[in-house]
Chain A
Amino acid sequence: MKAGNRTNISQLQAMAKTIRMDVIRMVARHGQGYIQQGLGAADLFTQLYFQELRFDSDNPNWQDRDRFILSTAHNTAVFYSTLARAGLIDLEMLEDYCLDGSALEINASERLTPLVECTCGSLGQGLSVAAGLAMGAKLQKRNSNIYLMLGDGELEEGQVWEAAMFAATHKLSNLIMIIDLNYMQVEGDARDVAAIDPVDSKLENFGWQTMVIDGHDFDAIFAGFEAAKAETERPSCIIAQTIPGKGVPFLEGQKSHNMVLPSQVAVDALDWLGNRP
């Protein structure tokens, strides 16, 4: 996919719905998994892979590709579904999600290189690697942008702030971080665990361009990426407010890191998504 014309919003919405249905099917087979954050991030992933990222599905190693790093490497149902729908892996592979021996592990790993640009999952590391890639692209005078998605809980890792300072010091304006802000972590509401707010002014003070957007509004996500790419001095952070379980009314807002998904709930969710506009 090459950047260029704006993708029709209704097409993006339809793709996001398809991805949400994949997420439910993939997790339903196991009865439990990363469903809430998958549904929550589906619009961001859709915008990334069907509008924003420059890649060549026939040549995934294309040197000038944009890179995407999923620092919250466990949010894989939505990630793998998006890769499949974008033609980067076979759709049939989704059937093997999290089965023994499958490369589609619950935590995205190097086994899917180069689609997985680095192995994260040990939280806090993604931004540093992204900063190295961004610096490398600048040194090589490549036009690649480096995109990275973090969860908000990950902001509790000190390394994120080391990397944030480094990226600002070195003016890595080709670095675009998306924070999937749903205030959800294993132990509950992230704000009860650590004083992560206000994320925007924290990063602003670290020398970043920041913007807070509705992570389910394709116009707003698009505008966020455009503003990030227009910035020439600072790295950018798009703080995308998302709702866990988005798209399925009876799942929306339920905060559970690794939620149980009874089969009837999955059937109802698929039914709702499949039959509603």
Chain B
Amino acid sequence: MTGSCNDTSKANALHLDDFSVKQKAGQQSVPKYYGEALLAAAIANKSILALTADLTAPTETDLVRDQLPDQFIMAGIAEANMVGVGAGLARAGFIPFVHSFSVFLSRRSFDQIAMQVAYPKTNVKLVGFMPGIDSLLGVSHQAIDDIALMRALPNMTVLEPASPADYEDAVVAALAHDGPVYLRLYRATKQELRPDNDPPLKIGIARNLHEGTDAAIFATGLMVEQALLAAKNLKQQGINAAVIDCASIKPLDINGILKVIKHSKIILTAENHTVLGGLGSAIAEVMAGSNIARPFFRIGVQDCFAEGGSRDFLFKKYGLTADAITAKIKQAITS
């Protein structure tokens, strides 16, 4: 914002470090899939405001800051206040997109989100980056419980797209929904393309990405790629596993999910999150609520804190891999 609210010339003069994704030398620049989607939406709709808490580039809001400074608000390192300000702006008729790392947005501002966003259904979009254990910065920066927290709030929609290629659809879906949405995103490190035959991400719809009835893998976010790899491995071994992208964690596509479960022998969930309260719990609730019993396994962070490290290292150490999914399903089938 210009003039009385924000001095963007000052902001631009600062060296703003995009520290959450390091580009390798010689690497082709990676699009900011979310930032570009938000920018396009904000160009079309002047009611959209982007708020960030000292994490502009890491939340890809630098695109809005630089091109639409009147629609950008730097809230400082004060997430609780930022959520309250966002709610006030929403009550004035704006559509605030409130950004930080998932862990700070959810844990530090939970009460503010409950009382100023979820309860009054203010049209605030909460956008958290650096999901789950995917962080070099360690436990302080790892959102292992944000899905559980956000899912527990009445009126909250929770979306975790599988791929940055889905972010544009996620922004469109969040905007089309008049009310609170929590978007759980990660930064792209490579060019992403959505397969032409995949249906677009929609609120309340689960997407079947791979067919199979020996097992069904319900996955979200970064674990969708691992689930698809596992399904490929399993297929080579004669096991047909369905893969369902549950980007819409809340509301869940209960009918779609039940249809798959009824035709599957083994159910497995995969999430970059604690196994308590997240997607695995949500799927278990659907099964139990419909009186369906199947062998059931949850891949995810096993009720522990992690540590800082690379994605590959941490996902392997904490069992968030295609190999772990493959092994679990094979073990279940042979036991």
Q: Pick the contact of B91 from A133, A166, A170 — CB < 8 Å?
A: A133
Q: Does B189 contact A (CB under 8 A)?
A: no
Q: Does B6 contact A (CB under 8 A)?
A: yes
Given contacts A119-B119, A119-B120, A122-B115, is CB(A132)–CB(B76) below 8 Å? no
Q: Does B5 contact A (CB under 8 A)?
A: yes
User: From A233, which residue of chain B is reached at the shortest CB distance?
Assistant: B4
B residues within 8 A CB of A170?
Answer: 1, 4-6, 73
Separation in Å of the B91 CB from the closest CB of chain A?
Answer: 6
Q: Which of B82-90, B232-240, B304-312, B321-329 contacts A (4 or more CB under 8 A)?
A: B82-90
Per the bound structure, the CA–CA distance linking A118 and B70 in Å amounts to 26
Q: Does B116 contact A (CB under 8 A)?
A: yes
A residues within 8 A CB of B86?
Answer: 132
B residues within 8 A CB of A140?
Answer: 92-93
Per the bound structure, the CA–CA distance linking A139 and B83 in Å amounts to 18
Q: Does B21 contact A (CB under 8 A)?
A: no
Q: Give 8 new A-B contacts, CB below 8 A, not counting A119-B115, A132-B87, A162-B81.
A: A118-B88, A122-B111, A128-B82, A129-B87, A136-B93, A140-B93, A166-B76, A171-B4
Separation in Å of the B181 CB from the closest CB of chain A?
Answer: 18
User: From A127, which residue of chain B is reached at the shortest CB distance?
Assistant: B84
| B5 x A135 contact (CB < 8 A) | yes
Per the bound structure, the CA–CA distance linking A151 and B83 in Å amounts to 21
Separation in Å of the A100 CB from the closest CB of chain B?
Answer: 20
Per the bound structure, the CA–CA distance linking A61 and B111 in Å amounts to 27
| A129 x B92 contact (CB < 8 A) | no
Q: Does B112 contact A (CB under 8 A)?
A: yes
Given contacts A128-B112, A136-B94, A170-B6, is CB(A165)–CB(B78) below 8 Å? yes
Q: Does A229 contact B (CB under 8 A)?
A: no
A residues within 8 A CB of B91?
Answer: 117-118, 129, 132-133, 136
B residues within 8 A CB of A127?
Answer: 84
Separation in Å of the A89 CB from the closest CB of chain B?
Answer: 19
In order of increasing CB-CB distance, the 4 nearest A-B pairs are: A132-B88, A128-B84, A136-B92, A162-B78
Q: Does A210 contact B (CB under 8 A)?
A: no
Q: Does B80 contact A (CB under 8 A)?
A: yes
Given contacts A132-B86, A170-B6, A171-B5, is CB(A137)–CB(B80) below 8 Å? no
Q: Does B75 contact A (CB under 8 A)?
A: yes
Given contacts A122-B111, A125-B115, A169-B76, is CB(A136)–CB(B88) below 8 Å? yes
Q: List 30 A-B contacts (CB under 8 A).
A: A110-B119, A117-B91, A118-B87, A125-B84, A125-B116, A128-B80, A128-B85, A128-B112, A129-B84, A129-B87, A129-B116, A132-B90, A132-B92, A132-B96, A133-B89, A133-B92, A135-B1, A135-B85, A136-B88, A136-B92, A137-B92, A139-B1, A140-B93, A158-B80, A162-B80, A163-B84, A163-B85, A165-B78, A166-B75, A171-B5
Per the bound structure, the CA–CA distance linking A127 and B83 in Å amounts to 12
Interface size on A, residues (CB 8 A): 33
User: From B49, which residue of chain A is reached at the shortest CB distance?
Assistant: A139
Centre residue among A117, A121, A133, A135 by max chain B CB count within 10 A:
A135
Interface string of B88-119 (1 = CB under 8 A from A): 11111110100000000000000110011001
Separation in Å of the A151 CB from the closest CB of chain B?
Answer: 17
Interface of B is mostly: helix
Per the bound structure, the CA–CA distance linking A134 and B1 in Å amounts to 14
A residues contacting B by CB (< 8 A) are 110, 113, 117-122, 124-125, 127-140, 158-159, 162-163, 165-166, 169-171
User: From A171, which residue of chain B is reached at the shortest CB distance?
Assistant: B4
B residues within 8 A CB of A171?
Answer: 4-5
Per the bound structure, the CA–CA distance linking A128 and B82 in Å amounts to 7
Q: Pick the contact of B76 from A119, A125, A135, A162 — CB < 8 Å?
A: A162
| B81 x A138 contact (CB < 8 A) | no
Given contacts A122-B115, A170-B6, is CB(A132)–CB(B120) below 8 Å? no
Separation in Å of the B93 CB from the closest CB of chain A?
Answer: 7
| A131 x B85 contact (CB < 8 A) | yes
B residues within 8 A CB of A138?
Answer: 4-5
B residues within 8 A CB of A132?
Answer: 84-92, 96
| B81 x A159 contact (CB < 8 A) | yes
B residues within 8 A CB of A159?
Answer: 78, 80-81, 84, 112
Centre residue among A113, A128, A159 by max chain B CB count within 10 A:
A128
B residues within 8 A CB of A118?
Answer: 87-88, 91, 116, 120
Given contacts A110-B119, A128-B83, is CB(A135)–CB(B88) below 8 Å? yes
User: From B7, which residue of chain A is reached at the shortest CB distance?
Assistant: A169
Per the bound structure, the CA–CA distance linking A171 and B92 in Å amounts to 18
A residues within 8 A CB of B87?
Answer: 118, 128-129, 132
Separation in Å of the A73 CB from the closest CB of chain B?
Answer: 10
| B89 x A136 contact (CB < 8 A) | yes
| B84 x A135 contact (CB < 8 A) | no
